[in-house]
Structure 1
Amino acid sequence: MTAVGIDAIEIWTGKLRLDLPGTFAPFKGEDPEKYTKGLGLEASSFPDVYEDIVTMGANAAKRLMDRRGLTPDDVGRIDVATESAFDNSKPVSTYIAGCLEQVFDGDFHHANKGERKFACVAGTQSIDDAYNWIKAGRNRGRSAIVVATDTALYERGDPGEATQGAGAVAMLISEDPDVVELSTEQGYGSADETDFLKPNQQFPSVDGKRSVQVYLARMREALEDYESVAGDTHLDDFAYIPFHTPFPGMVRKAGLLGFRHMIRDTEIEADLAGEIGRQPREGEFGSREAYEDAIREYMDALKRTETYQDWYAAAIEPTLTISRQVGNWYTGSVHIARVSALKNAAETGRGLTGERLLVGSYGSGAQAEIHAETVREGWRDEIGRLGLDEQLARRYELSFEEYEQIHDAHNHVKETEIEELTQPSGEFVFTGWGRMNERKYDYIE
């Protein structure tokens, strides 16, 4: 069978940086460690006044096409995943295609275009769509471009404000891919939930505590469903486990839950029993409440063991490096985590070809998806061409006053006019509105 997967990746981060412990925390009168140790964040990326989900997505896609020498004729579909869309009818993918047609010969008139919405899991769903399109033989030898692009803003003063971020990830989905091959097996955990939603509003309504519970519950269901078709998972099966990362502190909870699940009835659990006891089994308790109390005690002990901490440091921690510096990118979040893992392997000289990743995607509302990916031979060259460190280093450092102005400038209900903080060069920019209130874009040399 022909392998299908991610052939190339490009990232475009918002061009502004907010230092959370150094700038945000002092103005909030809070301990900087609330962000660095609690949430696990150092900084957030924000879009300048001429940036939005279209410019970031188009700029990432252009870099992808330039680097791979692609023309519009090579692309059979453009799928955009976002939960920051500004039009309930016209998809963001049409705007992005229009931008690209300004700089490439030819057009995308024969490419299928769409927009996916299911909170943060939509990026993975768009990859699934492209995978199925290729596997069905409908691609005519062409590839798909999947763009996950979001401006993740909360209302000022909201508890989630520190987890904000903005950026785009563009991925080329092809036969015989260079980065990772996608597994056929998938697992899902899905339920009608109201943990995080935006009912006809820009900024989310969030039940923070409930959101964490739903995230963990759907991830557990998805892992169990994945194992029902792929077989039991074990710690040594996967080099890295990238999770959806709204903030790294959430992944600490998911990592611990996954570890407990994977060591159950294994030699690792038996080896740890002398130190912290055996995992509680529900049948051993007279009530569900007593069982859950015992589970919490076991988990508290488990996370302090050297066995768990060593595994987390190797398999999970390297997936969080980029997120710590850019915040939550919603649909792009798990795809940043994948890049972070591969970047870590490249920088440490790890030979990753043929090893597997277990990818855990999640979207509020709520659905989790888990699948495996096998790392391909060309992964190191692809990751080496990203130039992400240079992008991050070039970001403009916001003062708190500038942050408030930028936040207001991207608030759909406010009329805020401020000067751009950076100078666009070699990129698409937002230039204003057209006669039907559509957004307009130009390429700046």
Structure 2
Amino acid sequence: MASAMPFLPFDNLDNAARWVTVLSSFAIAVGLLRLLHVRQNLSGRSRLLASLLIAQVLMFGLLSLLVMFDGSGMPWLRSAVRIGIATLNAIGAVALWTNFRALASLPSPGHVASEQRRLTLELATALQRYEMALRGSNVAIFTQDRALRYTSVSKPLFGAPVDQVLGSTDTELLGEARARPLNLLKRDCFAAAAARKGETEMEENGSKRWYDIHVEPLRDLAGTIVGLTGAAVDVTERKENEQHLRLLMRELTHRSKNLLAVIQAMARQTARHAGSIDEFVEIFSARLQALSRSHDLLVQESWHGASLNDMVRSQLGHHIDRENSQVTIKGPNIFLKPEAAQNIGLALHELSTNAAKYGALSVPTGHVDIIWARRMAEAGGGFELSWRERGGPPVTTPTGRGFGSLVIERNLARALDGEVQLEFAPGGLICNVSVPEHHLTAER
């Protein structure tokens, strides 16, 4: 005798499944509608497919609801729902196959994640290079809010570290007086809603620094001005170079006037003692060349000064460098200021010219010793230079003084505030020059 099968509540399970279908369909539809509202940037193709899916899910939910409540009183409603589902299925199939290639080419989640990591790395690398370039430059990039409080800065600004700059205003960082030009510039930028440029001077750690400031309004996505962004360029080096150039121009003007005065005096004195125009041209040209050689040395040292050793060699090089030289030079390394170098150069030229014409350098047996030494501090410092000729023709004291003697005895002593002794000894001319310490400078 067969036993009866146990009772199973299939009707209850069937109704529960229908309720789950209805609620899930509406939940999916609401979720998709919410997604379409949030993702306004979806393409038209994506929005169409999502709309078809929403309609199809709603139709399934509605059909399950009709079956559950047995809509026998409205048989046409079930038919309408089935026709709607069939229509949506047909449209969905056409849309799917029409867009199949685009859907098939969508990247996989792994590829998307890999591409995001790559782009993130590239962005981080570019940002690192940007920050490194800013750190190594004299440009600081910053942003400020409407209250002119710094919200970001690329490097220390106006001598203050980054953590001190952030959240502060220019007035808090610099004080009201020094911040006033910056505040006026930035408020003008807000008022005009346009870029503004200016220049400001700061004092940092006891030294002056100059900055070029460029600011522009900072806008949000709606175009509203929410602050400003700007750049502060440290132009201190340029300013210092400009000041140095102006100083050089003034110095050049001063030296040009002095040089013209020296040349004018040389021309006047040479003309006074020259016997003819040809003699004047020859002597004056030689003296100009001697002055030019002194200037060449000064230019090489940027007019800081000139070495005494180099000065002697520049004026007597044609006697020193030849075989069986008749000139001996000896002395420590001494650096002359420009005016002293120029005057000593002219004196050495006159002494060598006189020696070549009438003195020790006019005969093969003659010799000239040029020796200099530093003086002790107790004696006032400075140095003494000695020019001694020997082995030349007998020397007699001249009855008059030529331009060379005037350059050596009078002009040199007056220009250097020193002492010059010119002795016409029978054995050879002796010239001793004493130069004070203030005409010397440190070697570069």
Q: TM-score range by the shorter chain?
A: under 0.3
What is the TM-score of this pair, normalised by structure 2? 0.22
Larger Rg belongs to: 2
- TM-score normalised over the length of structure 1: 0.22
Structure with more helix by fraction: 2
